[in-house]
Amino acid sequence: MSRGLYLFCLARSGLVPSFEGRVIDGLGPVTLRSYRDIAAVLSEVCLEYVIGADGETGRQDPARTLRRALRHEEVVEKVMSSSGVLPARLDTVFSGWESLEQVLRAHHEIISRFLDLAAGCDEWAVKAFLDRARAKEALFAGKLAQEEHNLAASSPGLRYLQEQRLRKGLENEASQNMREACLEAEVRLRGHAKDFRRRDVLCPEACGEREMIMNWAFWVPRKNTDAFRECLEDASGAQAGGGLVLECTGPWPPYSFSPRLEKEAAP
């Protein structure tokens, strides 16, 4: 069987913690190899394990892929605790050290600069979900309160018609209000972050049928973490009851901010 090098991440030489060598099927013990001041965190791997016997990664055993993904994240997060880290995507494999060294040599300045930026920073994922029915009801309740004086003098039949008139257009108005609230929250959160990304909004099938309207990644210095989370709580509280829910997960390695490096993939 062909062998290759599975890359977990790149970090600063001399700062990577030691690993006990625990393995999962298909991946060898975690090892380090350095090029100048950059350490590559690696495992030797059987290429058929990653690529599949038929050469197609999409036909792997899902359980095996999940185990490898969990091991991948475990290693990257351990390194992140001691050094700035440039995480590799899952199943980044090189044919050998020579091909990886070529990448490190060609992109040394970019990698080194990124590791300096990544030191002491974490990625935080923030997603905004809209409960459309709840948002419309909250908006309707506000409009109803504004018109209560006029409605009180109306007959039941006329009041019903007036209420239906108030309900018209709530769908679009509620969506617009929530998007404006999201943009306001985005601006406030960016004040505590080194960088941020707007990511693709996920479909309802991937969100448990909930409607996602914003998906952000914030790169936050650890010294700002408490202020960032406090700002998020304030933004969430301001929308409580209005149909907008902000959810935050992290800290994560900076996958959304890492530079893409051309590589010679293993055959």
Query: What domain range includes position 57?
Result: 3-119
74 within a domain of the structure (yes/no)? yes
The pLDDT score that the predictor gives to residue 171 is 61
Q: Is residue 129 domain-shared with residue 199, that is, in the same domain?
A: yes
Closest CA to 79 of 105, 108, 42: 42
Domain count, the chain: 2
pTM for the model: 0.78
Query: Which of 119, 154, 176 is the endpoint of a domain?
Result: 119
83, 89, 60, 71: which is closest to 28 by C-alpha?
71
113 and 205 both lie in a single domain: no
Q: Are residues 65 and 132 in the same domain?
A: no
- Asked, for residue 220, whether it belongs to a domain, the answer is yes
54 token code pair: 């038929």
Contacts of 1 (CB under 8 A, 6+ apart): 46, 47, 48
Q: What is the pLDDT, as a whole number, of residue 129?
A: 86
For residue 242 the two structure tokens come to 């209005």
67 in the same domain as 7: yes
- Amino acid in the structure at residue 97: W
* Co-location of 191 and 231 in the same domain: yes
Residue 173: what pLDDT?
65
Angle, alpha carbons 109-115-119 (nearest 5°)? 150
Task: Indicate the burial class of 14 (C-beta count within 10 angstroms; 0-12, 13-18, 19 or more).
Answer: exposed
Classify residue 32 as exposed, middle or buried by CB count within 10 Å of its CB (0-12, 13-18, 19+). middle
Residue 238 lies in a domain: yes
Quick one: pLDDT at residue 237?
75
Instruction: Collect the ranges in the chain with pLDDT lower than 70.
Output: 1, 20-26, 49-60, 135-175, 204-209, 238-242, 262-267
Inside any domain, residue 157: no
Residues 22 and 37 grouped into a single domain: yes
Nearest residue to 230 via CA among 262, 201, 191: 191
Confirm whether 149 is domain-assigned. Answer: no
CATH code, 233: 3.30.70.360
**Same domain (yes/no): 113, 128:** no
Nearest to 177 by CA among 221, 238, 105: 238
Looking at 137-266, which runs of residues are DSSP E strands?
A: 195-198, 211-221, 244-252
pLDDT of amino acid 121: 95
Q: Phi-psi region for residue 36, left (φ > 0), alpha (ψ -120 to 50) or beta?
A: left
Q: Is 248 helix (H, G, I), strand (E, B) or coil?
A: strand
The pLDDT score that the predictor gives to residue 55 is 47
Instruction: Note the pLDDT of residue 224.
Output: 97
**175: its two tokens:** 């969506």
Which pLDDT score is estimated for 53?
A: 46
